[in-house]
A and B are shown apart, each in its own frame.
Chain A
Amino acid sequence: MKPRIAPYVFIGPATLLLLAFGVLPILVAGLVSLTDMNLGGLGDWSRIEFIGVDNYVELFADGAFWQAMANTGIFALIGVPSVIALSLAVALLLNRSGSAFFRALRSFYFVPAITAIVAISLVWGYLYNTQFGLFNYLLSIVGLPPVSWLSDPVAVKFSVALVAVWRGTGLNIIIFLAALQGVPREYLEAASLDGASGFRKTVSIVIPLLRFAIFFVTITTIIAWLQFFDEPFVLTKGGPIGASTSISLFLYQEGFSASQFGYASAGSVVLFVVIAAVTLVQLRARRADVDY
């Protein structure tokens, strides 16, 4: 019997932490979403009333909620393929050489991932600024009209997503690089003996062998983009007129700015269900996959 305890001892602490900070908040949010809890209720619990699914009914009738949902979908459509393609391409290039220069480049690409978001946004805010920003200055040099990067309802989605793509690639490049180290040399050598070109080797051997890494990066990237928050929060506060409000930012505004905790909890439960569904679909699709 005794050895059987060992695994539980090892996973115990992590499981407890996960339960306390992962599962419990979701359960609490589920409960709170059935009440009209606001700031007053937070201070005095007797002022909280159980209102059933009213929050959900109101949420699904709320234009701002659907706008935020649509924005989040657009962000994910722009962001996820860009991040994956870009970081895979950079990782393949970086992997071509192990020289000191390329090792320095790796840290260079990782820098955006570890820089504070507030500093990043300040700098990008200045780059995008319509009055004295660098981008419009560059456009003016080549004779193009200025762009309202953060004020135009369409342009703002790309502007905000670009910053997040730039920031999101670093970590994924590192993951891809690590996976690339695991590609067996024998396969590549055998292909070389058969006369395969570098391009052919990449397409037919390296990328298929990276399948699990790509799968992992895809799932985490999709989840990250469904929870997109930092960039629109600091760059635009969700404006103009909600054009860059992601669903997480919408929840933040309802929960913390408007103190409607019940309403915001209902939204967060919906977001949780969406993310869980998307992830489950992907895991299901993966099951049919062949492992090497």
Chain B
Amino acid sequence: MKRSRLLALPAVVAVAGLSLTACSGGGDTAAQNDDTLTVWVMGDSSANFEELVAPFAEDSGITVDTVAIPWDSIDQKLTTAVASGNGPDVVQIGISKLRTFADSGALLSLDDDTLADYPNLASENFISGVSGDATAIDGEVVSVPWVSDTRVLFYRTDILAESGIDEPPATWDELRADAKTLAGRGDGQYGYYVPQWDSALPVVMTWDHGGDIVNGDGAVDFDTLAFESAVDVYTGLYADGSVPTNSDFDQTQGFTSGVTPMLVSGPYLAAAITEAAPELEGKWSVAPIPGADADTSLLAGSNMGVWGSTDNEEGALRLLDYLSEPETQLTWYGLDGQLPTATAALEDPSLTEDPLVAVYAEQLQDAKILPLVPNWDGDTGKTLLDSLNAIVLNGADRDQTIADLVAATSGTSVN
């Protein structure tokens, strides 16, 4: 059992070699024929997506074959697809993976000429943070926006009121003070929750202190005053004893039980709270992310790309065009709870009537994507998180750790 794992890596490389040789004269095998589209969607289930594209399949006569790829196995799946040449036709790409996908050279370039016949795919239709140049790699656009996701502040109105806090904190310093007050409720009670796996949070804090983690030359740069301020807030929360230190802390449970009455998360947390604790209805709310010099939050979500070796480029683009219709995106919000990227859909009254969604939609207007470095999750973001966690959990020397972080990441270029 364990033995096979060790051999897995070289085996993939070996298989890559064998299959490339085998395929050299055979062309690609991405699609069986022109009437079928294989779509990789991320997540555990493809049922909702099948329902979403059913009308498209009926209208166009194209069979859409949906394959669900669990988030955990995206990397392996992409690696084997690139190595073997057996990719899908259309693929959903989390924005943090976009650079990796683009660098693999597997995606079709979606330049203006390619998109000319598909009016819904024009970049001005989407929120500016992810459309067109915002997610171009090396000046080349290889994906179109699909769903968006942003981070807002979740807070328990009842618990905050009991501790004499009437308004959600508007700045990170206020949040730190409030969190300390809330942590004073007793043993095992905290004020805020920092997910130890969330590399975006310190970046958002940096943005909100008026800085960026990318300098004017387009390279990653943590050697700034704004980042120092972000580190102060981040480590300060731990120093105050305001956040739980165990890595297996469950954020939904922590929020519903009141152990951590404030945290920053995405719309999916609202769904999880409603499901896990419907009795809390009316006792919690969301607010825009705390600011300092800015109120910028994280813009996450997914884009859609077309696999370069597809046999059915036209069908794939028609599908993307369909998915970009505001109507389709609203249906998807209804089916799967994921926020649209088309501005027309985000302004639709059916969404903005919901006070929670109104906050998300407002925050989306002031949200940025993480820098498109070659490997955020596995490299830059991981180094950032490891450094901060080493300070707050292991008591590593702050200045030395930050200096090491700067040295390890400087020169990593964006695009």
Contact = CB atoms under 8 A, between A and B. Distances in A.
Interface stretch (B4-12, B58-66, B159-167, B230-238): B4-12
Contacts of A44: 105
Nearest to A29: B10
Interface stretch (B29-37, B117-125, B344-352, B374-382): B374-382
A242 B386 contact: yes
* Number of chain B interface residues as a range: 35 or more
Interface in A25-61: 25-26, 28-29, 32, 37-40, 42-45, 47
Interface string B363-402: 0000000000001011100000010011001100000000
Given A131-B246, A227-B3, A236-B247, 6 more contacts: A42-B79, A130-B248, A131-B248, A150-B248, A248-B6, A271-B6
Given A230-B1, A256-B79, A148 B14 contact: no
B336 interface: no
Instruction: Count chain B CB atoms within 10 A of each CB in A39, A150, A258, A268 and give the residue with the most.
Output: A39
Given A29-B13, A265-B13, A268-B9, A240 B196 contact: yes
B105 A131 contact: no
B76 A25 contact: no
A239 interface: yes
A229 B248 contact: no
A153 B394 contact: yes
A129 interface: yes
Given A150-B248, A251-B9, A261-B13, A241 B104 contact: no
Instruction: Count chain A CB atoms within 10 A of each CB in B76, B248, B386, B389 and give the residue with the most.
Output: B248
7 contacts: A39-B79, A39-B100, A40-B103, A151-B246, A228-B2, A240-B389, A256-B79
Interface in B175-197: 196
Interface in A175-230: 223-224, 227-230
A224 to B, nearest CB: 5
Nearest to B82: A43
Dominant SS at the B interface?
Answer: helix
B10 A25 contact: yes
Given A131-B254, A239-B196, A26 B76 contact: no
B333 interface: no
Nearest to A225: B2
B9 A261 contact: yes
Interface string A115-150: 000000000010011111000000000000000101
Contact of A40 (B105, B259, B394): B105
A131 to B, nearest CB: 6
B248 A128 contact: yes
B217 interface: no
Contacts of B246: 130-131, 148, 150-151
A45 B307 CA distance: 18
B3 A241 contact: no
Interface of A: 21-22, 24-26, 28-29, 32, 37-40, 42-45, 47, 125, 128-132, 148, 150-151, 153, 223-224, 227-230, 236, 239-242, 248, 251-253, 255-259, 261, 264-265, 268, 271-272
B75 A129 contact: no
Contacts of A132: 250, 253
A240 B194 CA distance: 14
B2 to A, nearest CB: 5
A22 B79 CA distance: 21
Contacts of B1: 230
A272 B6 CA distance: 9
Contacts of A268: 6, 9-10
Contact of A32 (B13, B103, B245): B13
Contact of A258 (B6, B7, B249, B378): B378
Contact of B9 (A224, A228, A258, A264): A264
A28 B78 contact: no
A251 B8 CA distance: 10
B2 A229 contact: yes
A43 B5 CA distance: 23
A239 B79 contact: no
B7 A22 contact: yes
Given A40-B104, A43-B105, A255 B9 contact: yes
Interface string B138-178: 00000000000000000000000000000000000000000
A242 B390 CA distance: 10
A227 B6 contact: yes
A259 to B, nearest CB: 6
A131 B250 CA distance: 8
Contacts of B278: none
